[in-house]
Amino acid sequence: MPNSAMHPFCCVSSMAISNSAMPAAPQSPPDPLVRIQNLAAISRASSARDSGADQGSGGGALSNSNGNNQNHNQSHVHLSRELKINDIVGDGVSGILYKWVNYGRGWRPRWFVLQDGVLSYYKIHGPDKIVVNQETERGSRVIGEESMRRVMGHHSNHNHHLRNGTAGSPTKSRKAVGEVHLKVSSIRESRSDDRRFSIFTGTKRLHLRAENREDKAAWMDVLQTMKDMFPRMSNSELMAPVDNLAVSTEKLRLRLLEEGVSEAAIQDSELIMRNEFSSLQSQLMLLKQKHWFLMDTLRQLETEKVDLENTVVDESQRQFDEVGTSSRSRQDKYSETASESEYENERVDAADEDTDEEENNFFDTRDFLSSSSFKSNGSDFRTSSFSSDDDLTFESEDGIDPDIKSAGRNFPHVKRRKKLPDPVEKEKGVSLWSMIKDNIGKDLTKVCLPVYFNEPLSSLQKCFEDVEYSYLLDRAYEWGKKGNSLMRILNIAAFAVSGYASTEGRNCKPFNPLLGETYEADFPDKGLRFFSEKVSHHPTIVACHCEGTGWKFYGDSNLKSKFWGRSIQLDPVGILTIEFDDGEVFQWSKVTTSIYNLILGKLYCDHYGTMRIQGNHDYSCKLKFKEQSIIDRNPHQVQGIVQDNSGKTVATLFGKWDESMHYVDGDCSKGKGHESLSEARLLWKRSKPPQFPTRYNLTRFAITMNELTPGLKEKLPPTDSRLRPDQRSLENGEYELANAEKLRLEQRQRQARSMQEKGWKPLWFAKDKGSDTYRYIGGYWEAREEGNWESCPDVFGNIHSDHTTD
């Protein structure tokens, strides 16, 4: 077979490679026995059965050249053989296994061939259409009754065509769909299905299923034995301590004697040398031990990941089987090839069942969310109130009070930028794998990630993104003034959901603020002023305060993270508060956020959990962010209810956190169906995407947040995020400078803990002893008006020697 170059980590390729370097099978004790049949025997038997007579060595394409043994082999065609596993490996193994394709196609039969440590698989284009390579598979064994039936049927048809002169080339070529190299792969059995197992190559996983338990056991024995043929030094051998290392000082002694050094000085020098060497050896052994522990941890994580993936596939298939078959109209979407169109396509509905005890409070809007009537009304983007576009448009609001419709609109126009600056340098690619390799054994708290993983915004500015749709708060204020508390809380609920819209497609992390760093946003075009400050470094806490027309929005946030190998879970800690001038207050906490596929695959985030918005007057609200499943065709759903003080549901909300939110009056969980949902009214719709997209997937609003408008720089304090040099350099596309500045600032930030321990306090926020939250104490905007920033530290400047700590 032709040679093809292959990356060392790419263990599944679409081309065959040479197997000439395969080591010989080791001599080992007898292994378990499996019931397998020889492919050559099947070929000869099929040929003999069709011809009805002994045709010698030329009777079939796969027959043995020694015709004297044919009658003997023919008598054993339908009998299972008890063969030692090493004998099987020596000749190769083939047979049918069912491979998991996708959730539309499900399990599909493939012809697998194991030879010389390479497991290849081929498509089967019909019930008896198995093409066998005569040269390489002449002596291979076949596993499974179904495999033998199909192979015998294939040879019977082949011989029939030979007798009638219709056969094509006996050496019909075929191409493997994929190949797995067992030397660098791991094999796992399924915990929930005794017919299934999986093979992981490091970059790809094959989920396989045998016809029965016996066939699976045979395949497992064969694969594991073949894998064992590749000797590999264990970690314990690699990490074995090196004792009795002799340190020779002879050369040192001779050199010192030549220089006329006294014997006492020579002995002192030898002692110093031995001590230094011993110290160095101890340090090396410590590093060696750390490396061993790291490898062991990685091995454990891989095992847990494999088990979890097997469980997920098992559960998904169970749900698939329960849901059944849907319309054939979706078949072409998931069809692999036209030659497999005889198989009926299956679809998997999303996992609607939720074990949350509050699920009965909500209703299933999945069908309605995907219906054409909903999409025609809700799929258009809304331009948010900050936009300076001339084509400013809003959703249809017929019948709404003019005062409500005008809320959030009647503000002065401010021209803001629509794109980021063009990059000065060409961005360099970065490999996460190379970073992991380069930082093995290092203190991760001192590892500086390059700026390529960042977006040109800080976490302080990300807080301001929650207020992008502040017109909802303006409307809530106007509804309250008119005595409609229900519409007020509905707009508050839409506002709480809208803060997540900007996270869709945002795969880069914001800059972590320095202790004492601040950010201000004076947006007269939105009728608000926003201010935030990093108030604690351990734990990292960011506090914010925003004032609009008739309302205040404030809170602090801290994230507790959990790393799960390929994903990270972020649990927000903190309370957000909306306080209106008339005394009505609403409070809530954010839901859990998870970021998936950190190592391999497409990175994405999801938000899930129950958000409770508690009011101090008439109403409260519960919003359920549904967790996205791997088979969900309609993700990002949010469902909610508004209840009065007696617990009665007075309104129902539904939508998607990245698109829009609607509401209907009353309780839709009682089975009212689409009749009531068709009367749904729009509360909020996501803004249009930017005219000039960025590689960070920033929204129109986010593009404006780091802008230095004319005259603004002179008014800002030295702590403002807009003045942070690494962030500004990244925005300008000066990547080398950004990396250097980021490293410098992170080194400076390491003194923040000692600063905090010595009594450092934030300038503009103070902790409320009753609620243990940070509240704005005032004074910032007054200092800004006076231009008095004497109390502000130079958080972005160079570290002075008198400020450093050991």
pLDDT digits 0-9 by tens, 361-376: 444 455 455 444 444 3
* Whether 552 and 412 share a structural domain: yes
Q: Would you state the pLDDT for residue 246?
A: 63
The confidence score (pLDDT) of residue 732 equals: 95
Predicted confidence band of residue 101 (pLDDT cuts 50, 70, 90): confident
- Residue 384 confidence (pLDDT): 44
User: How large is the average pLDDT for residues 132-161?
Assistant: 62
Q: Are residues 265 and 211 in the same domain?
A: no
Query: Mean of the pLDDT values across residues 144-148?
Result: 76
The whole-number average pLDDT for the span 484-493 is: 96
CB-CB contact of 703 with 720 (8 Å): no
Q: Average the pLDDT over each of 157-171, 384-398, 750-764 and give the range with the smallest value.
A: 384-398
- Residue 387 resides in a domain: yes
Q: Choose between 341 and 363: higher pLDDT.
A: 363
pLDDT digits (tens, 9 = 90+) for 600-613: 778 889 999 999 99
Q: By C-alpha distance, which of 551, 624, 615, 548 is closest to 588? A: 615
Least confident stretch, 235-239, 346-350, 571-575, 791-795 = 346-350
| pLDDT, mean of residues 786-795 | 92
In this structure, the answer to whether residues 77 and 162 fall within a common structural domain is yes
Instruction: Give yes or no: residues 212 and 245 share one domain.
Output: no
> Is the pLDDT score of 787 beyond 90?
yes
pLDDT band at 245 (very low <50, low <70, confident <90, very high): low
Residue where a domain stops, chosen among 228, 261, 291:
228
- Mean pLDDT calculated for residue range 218-246: 68
CATH number at residue 173: 2.30.29.30
Please give the span between the terminal C-alpha atoms of the chain, in angstroms, as a whole number.
64
Nearest-5° Cα angle at 187, 185 to 189 = 165
- The answer to whether residue 290 sits within a structural domain is yes
Query: Quick check: is 375 in a domain?
Result: no
Please name which of 542, 543, 461 lies closest in space to residue 506, comparing C-alpha atoms. Answer: 461
pLDDT at 401 over 90: no
Whether the predicted pLDDT of 249 surpasses 70: yes
pLDDT of residue 296: 65
46 found inside a domain: yes
Residue 472: half-sphere exposure toward Cβ, Cα within 13 Å: 26
Task: Answer whether residue 740 shows pLDDT above 70.
Answer: yes
Give yes or no: residues 395 and 525 share one domain.
Answer: yes
Q: Are residues 82 and 56 in the same domain?
A: yes
Whether 302 is in a domain gets the answer yes
Higher-scoring residue by pLDDT: 786, 406:
786
Domain count, the chain: 3
Q: Is the pLDDT reported for residue 774 higher than 50?
A: yes
pLDDT, the chain, mean: 74
- What pLDDT score does 67 carry? 41
Sequence letter at residue 526: K
The pLDDT confidence band at residue 354, using thresholds 50, 70 and 90, is very low
Average pLDDT over residues 666-689: 78
At residue 450, the pLDDT reads 85
- Do you know the residue count of the chain? 806
Mean pLDDT confidence for 643-647: 93
Give per-residue pLDDT as tens, 190-206: 877 888 998 887 667 88
- The pLDDT of residue 607 is 95
Model pLDDT for residues 35-82, shown as the tens digit of each residue = 445 555 545 554 544 444 444 433 333 333 344 444 444 433 333 333
Lowest mean pLDDT of 89-103, 400-414, 442-456, 555-569, name the range: 400-414
According to DSSP, residue 420 is labeled P
Residue 106: the pLDDT is: 79
| Residue 645 pLDDT > 80 | yes
Q: Are residues 256 and 148 in the same domain?
A: no
Among 641, 609, 607, residue whose Cα is nearest residue 622: 641
Within a domain: 464: yes
Confidence of residue 723 (pLDDT cuts 50, 70, 90): very high
pLDDT at 379 over 90: no
pLDDT value of position 492: 98
SS3 270: helix
Alpha carbon distance 746, 286 (integer Å): 27
Looking at the chain, the whole-number percentage of residues with pLDDT higher than 70 is 62
Residue 45 and residue 147 in one domain? yes
| Residue at 240 is within a domain | yes
Q: Which of 185, 213, 228 is the last residue of a domain?
A: 228
Q: In this structure, are 188 and 90 located in the same domain?
A: yes
Angle, vertex CA 632, rays to CA 631 and CA 636, nearest 5 = 145
Q: Is the confidence at residue 90, as pLDDT, over 70?
A: no
271 backbone dihedrals φ, ψ, rounded to 5°: -65, -45
In this structure, are residues 28 and 86 in contact, taking their beta carbons and an 8 Å threshold?
A: yes
Count CB neighbours of 584 within 10 A.
21
More reliable by pLDDT, 349 or 117: 117
Distance between CA atoms of residues 459 and 532, nearest Å: 10
State both tokens at 793. 């530290």
Q: What is the DSSP string of 530-554?
A: EEEEEEETTTTEEEEEEE-SSEEEE
C-beta neighbour count of 68 within 10 angstroms:
9
Output the pLDDT for position 591: 96
Whether 722 is covered by a domain: the verdict is: yes
Higher pLDDT, 130 or 652: 652
Q: What percent of the chain has pLDDT over 90?
A: 33
- Model pLDDT, residue 306: 57
Whether residue 506 is found in the same domain as residue 533: yes
Q: Give the domain-ending residue among 196, 228, 260.
A: 228
Exposed/middle/buried for 587, CB within 10 Å: 0-12, 13-18, 19+? Answer: middle
Of the pLDDT bands very low, low, confident and very high (cuts 50, 70, 90), residue 616 is very high
Tens digits of residue pLDDT in 13-46:
333 333 333 444 444 433 333 444 555 554 555 4
Is residue 754 predicted with pLDDT exceeding 70? Answer: yes
- How many whole angstroms separate alpha carbon 386 and alpha carbon 396? 19
Report pLDDT for 594: 92
**Which has more confidence, 512 or 242?**
512
Dihedral angle at the C-alpha atoms of 718, 722, 726, 731, nearest 10 degrees? Answer: -160
pLDDT value of residue 393:
38
Mean pLDDT of 441-459: 77
- Interval 305-321 mean pLDDT: 54
Whether residues 758 and 712 share a domain: the answer is: yes
pTM: 0.56
* Domain enclosing residue 18, as ranges: 12-228
Mapping DSSP to helix (H, G, I), strand (E, B) and coil, where does residue 685 land? strand
Q: What's the confidence (pLDDT) of residue 440? A: 61
Is the domain of 202 the same as that of 244? no
Q: Is the pLDDT of residue 633 over 80?
A: no
